Structure 1
Amino acid sequence: MIEPAELAVVVLAGGEGRRIGGGKPLRKLGGETLIDRALRKARRWSPYVAVALRAETHLGAVDADRLSDDSDVAGPLAGVAAALRYAKKAGRAALLTIPCDTPFVPDDLASRLVIEIGDAAVAVAASGGEIHPVCALWKVEALANLAGYVASGRRSLRGFAAEIGFRVAEWPSEPIDPFFNVNTAEELAQAEAWLARRNADPVG
């Protein structure tokens, strides 16, 4: 079994955020930027923490290593490619990825995916019957399969996980989907309302 000490965690922040008007990682939820919230969660799981982003992304002062998304790859797979290289260079056995715009990722994400992965290459989070390949635990040896996958013209992160073999860990989607994704101003407002409700009634 992969030990928690063998993990690197990378926050994926390479999206342009057009639907929210740009600058999504710096949008605030509960007075904290989405990127800072994600990094705070990531540091609970590993001291090896980085942010993967496009070269033109501006985050200001962020206390984490910065990785440039692979310019030859589109979408979230570009961030995972850079993240896998980071984890390998750091001598970690596995990589946990989370996106900066999923503010309610569960505290037990790392521990449950570590248990689930077994002899598979990837363990992917799911909720409400939908898988979330951006919230996944990747064995570092998956990097060996990446060049061939990209060379074939494919760019889907879900497709890459399927190519190398994945297992799924499911979380309940009620009362709040822990993998709720913030893409618009309306969704950020919804997340703010949920957060206020949770803070007012942390047990409920």
Structure 2
Amino acid sequence: MRPLVGIFVGGQGRRMGGVAKGLMRPPSGERSIVDRLVTIAQDALGDVDAVMVGDATSYSAVRLPALDDDPPGVGPLGGLAALLAEAERRGAPFAVALACDLPFVTTALLGRVVGVDAVAVVPRAGEHLQPLCARYAPSVRSVAQAVLSGGKRSLHAVLDAIGDDLHVIELTAAESVAVEDWDTPEDVTR
């Protein structure tokens, strides 16, 4: 069975003027962030299945299947629940969640994340966990559903609920660049 990679494309990009962030090109410029993330996942994992997660309306040119958030309207937590349900359905050993606005993720970093066999593996840059550059066991779906049932919508609430089964990879300052995201036009120019 192959791992399932989910690229989270569901944000509306309001702070970017409505631009589909995953279609933007990183400074290297050769292809979109989404295409780059698929290549990096293949390089780190070998043979993978990849899907877009969330409202992929703006991504019709990308040749990947799309999963709707489940439930919709709750942000990336609905996307994580959908990704893990699909991983479970496919019998995937684990799922990898990647935000579409991470233009600097490296094969080396993703290799470190997926190389640890744990319920969840998340990198931390300084004080910040990056739950959308992470590896999750399909069993985390029940944790995500419990968090949603409790009225929370935060991916960090899922990480908190995982507790001691969460493996954190501490990043050096140099490695932290790999998990810097593009949320605003100013981020693109830094």
Compute the TM-score of the two structures, normalised by the length of structure 2: 0.86
CA distance in 1, matches of 2:92, 2:32: 28
Structure 1 residue corresponding to 2:4, chosen from 5, 8, 18 = 8
- Assess, with a 3 A threshold, how the Cα gap between structure 1 residues 31 and 106 changes in structure 2: closer, same or farther: closer
Q: Is this contact kept in 1: 2:3–2:93, CA < 8 A?
A: yes
Q: What is the DSSP-based 3-state SS (H/G/I as helix, E as strand, rest coil) of the residue aligned with 2:131?
A: strand
Match of 2:40 in 1: 41
Q: Which amino acid aligns with 2:15?
A: R
Secondary structure class of the residue paired with 2:112: helix
Return the alpha-carbon distance in structure 1 between the equivalents of residues 115 and 35 of structure 2. 27
CA contact (8 A) 1:73 1:150 kept: no
Go from structure 1 to structure 2 and tell me whether the alpha carbon gap of 1:186 and 1:122 turns closer, same or farther (over 3 Å shift). Answer: same
Structure 1: how far apart are the matches of 2:107 and 2:127?
A: 20
Match of 1:188 in 2: 188
- For 2:129 and 2:90, the matched residues in 1 are separated by 28
Write the letter of the residue equivalent to 1:11: I
- SS of the equivalent of 1:169 reads strand
* Residue 20 (str. 1) matches residue 16 (str. 2): yes
Answering whether residue 156 of structure 2 is matched by residue 158 of structure 1, we say: yes
- Distance, in Å, in 2 between the alignment partners of 1:114 and 1:65 is 22
Q: Does the CA contact (< 8 Å) of 1:116 and 1:168 recur in 2?
A: no
Which residue of structure 2 lines up, in the alignment, with residue 50 of structure 1? 51
- Alpha-carbon shift at residue 117 of structure 1 (Å): 4.2
Offset of 1:13 from its aligned partner?
A: 1.0
Query: How well do the aligned residues superpose, as a CA RMSD in angstroms?
Result: 2.0
Q: Which amino acid aligns with 1:25?
A: G
8 Å Cα contact 2:77-2:144 kept in structure 1? no
Structure-1-length-normalised TM-score? 0.80
Partners of 2:39 and 2:111 lie apart in 1 by 17
Q: Which has the higher strand share?
A: 1
Q: 1:177 to 1:20 in 2, by over 3 A?
A: same
- Tell me the equivalent position of 1:138: 136
Percent of counterpart pairs with the same letter? 29
Query: Is the Cα–Cα contact under 8 Å of residues 87 and 95 in structure 1 kept in the other structure?
Result: yes
Structure 1 unpaired stretches of 5+: 191-204
